[in-house]
Structure 1
Amino acid sequence: MFDLAQASDVLSIPRVDFPSGNRRPAASPAAARAPVADLPQTTALREERLPFVVTIAGDESSLRDAVAMRQAAYGRHLPDLAATLSEPETSDREPGAIVLVARARLDGAVLGTMRIQTNRYQALHLEDSAPLPAWLDRAALAEATRLGVVAGPVGRVVKTALFKAFYQYCLLSGIDWMVITARPPLHRQYEALMFADVFPGQDLIPMAHVGGIGHRVLALDVAQARTRWQLAGHPLFAYMCLTHHPDLRLGMPGEKPEGAEVGAPERGREVGPLAVEASVGAHLRDLSFSADEVRCVAAGFSLAV
Structure 2
Amino acid sequence: MLYGIIAATTALLLSAVLTALLRAAALRLGIADRRRQRTLPLFGGVAVALTSCLVATVGDRTGFAPLGAGVGELLVAGAAVAALGLFADVRRVKPRVLVAGTAVAAACVVPYEETGVPGGLLAVGWIVFVALGLRALDHADGLAGTVGVVTAFGAGACAAVEVMDGLAVLLSVLAAALTGFLMHNWPPARVGLGACGSLFTGFLLASAAVVTRAGYGLGSTAAVFGALTVVIGADVLLVVVSRRLSGRSGPDHLAHRLRRLGLTPQGAAVLLGAAAFSGVLVAVLVHLGWVGPTGALWVAGGALIVVLGLLRIKPSSTPRPVSPQVRGQLRVRNG
Normalised by the length of structure 1, the TM-score is 0.29
Point out the structure with the larger strand share: 1
For CA contacts below 8 A with separation 6 or more, give which structure has more relative contact order.
Answer: 1
Normalised by the length of structure 2, the TM-score is 0.27
